[in-house]
Amino acid sequence: MIEFIKQEKVRFQHVDYAGIVFYPRFLEMLNGLVEDWFEEALDRPFSKMHDPRQSRTGQGQTNGIPTVDLKIQFKNAARLGEILTKILWVKELKNSSILCGFQFVNEAENTVLEGEVILVNVAFNTERNSIKSEPFTEEMKVKIQKYLNS
């Protein structure tokens, strides 16, 4: 199993008056981790998935990967200036969905948060007024399976 790992510095924009990360910012950090994984590891950048101009010209894709379920446990506070190591792996790959595990760890190697997220591969029509789940391509499944925790 391979884990997808990125680091992020806790910035002023992430924290509340107490100087700790305000919990919705963690969700934004998680979404950034998923977006980076799709672009850097799976060669499927959100910029192509979500650009209707590219979809109309045939250069983009008419699909997305929304979060449909999220479980998260907050274990420790993260403070302004800390570097967080964000880790993502695949727990289960289905026809059109992925169950991923994730963990954020601080510099002292304490878990800040951990959880699971289910992402579903969806297709939009070209007008983007209809959405339905769509199977991953075989090529995409091979790329995702590298991160499968067996």
pLDDT digits (tens, 9 = 90+) for 53-82: 654 444 445 578 999 999 999 999 999 999
80: in domain: yes
Phi and psi at 89, nearest 5°, equal: -150, 165
Specify the pLDDT at position 52: 60
**Does any domain span residue 27?**
yes
Q: What is the pLDDT of residue 140?
A: 93
- Whole domain around residue 27: which residue ranges? 4-145
pLDDT at residue number 53: 61
| 150 located within any domain | no
Residue 103 belongs to a domain with what CATH number?
Answer: 3.10.129.10
Question: Is residue 142 within 8 Å of residue 93, measured between CB atoms?
Answer: no
Domain count, the chain: 1
The larger pLDDT score, comparing residue 90 to residue 62, is at: 90
The answer, yes or no, to whether residue 138 has pLDDT greater than 60, is: yes
In a 3-state reduction of DSSP, which class is residue 114?
strand
